[in-house]
Structure 1
């Protein structure tokens, strides 16, 4: 894997994006790990799950960690889709985009509810296909 993404599988919007990423990941370069998995700490002892619940975490093949929109930009770059996402990493846009991302992350369940009608995926309806 070139990138392993640690995401919140109980967030409908987060899960939807992960499903889209995997759909376009034809070379299988991206691994997905739900931070709510019962064995996540056993399999990834270096992961701080509490911190991963506040900001998206990505583990690169070289063992280095990236966070937030850097994960999103790297992931979409690996798929060759949504090239516009890399614009969010431009020096003049990055600080504002990062603040917006953190606001989204803090309010992801409310935003999910507004956009999907579903606040959380804890009823078994949200599963990676």
Structure 2
């Protein structure tokens, strides 16, 4: 699901170089954060949301641009290996492993399915749930 609508996309970037992974509270502050993939660098980036001044939820403007986010910039969540050519499909999900942090399921280029436990500031080590080749031609995950 390409995501060219981010307000702070640079003019030099091609439309659709970002994929939305999750909009959930990653940092544990009870405010939604935005996790996305950039195919320019093959990384996952975390944009921390600000609480809405209305008394509940998230200030949507804080998710619309890095400068307006709680951190003032997008933080690296996973350093490398997240190019579309490496990770064909992924889905951010609510907590699966009981640590109260959202997680990610990923379909790799070799057809394997991996579970990545989320962390408050970075991704945990993966577990291969389905071995190589079994899901090579799947069109959707989730």
| TM-score of the pair, normalised by structure 1 | 0.23
| TM-score of the pair, normalised by structure 2 | 0.22
- As a proportion of its length, which structure holds more strand? 2
Higher RCO, Cα 8 Å, sep 6+: 1
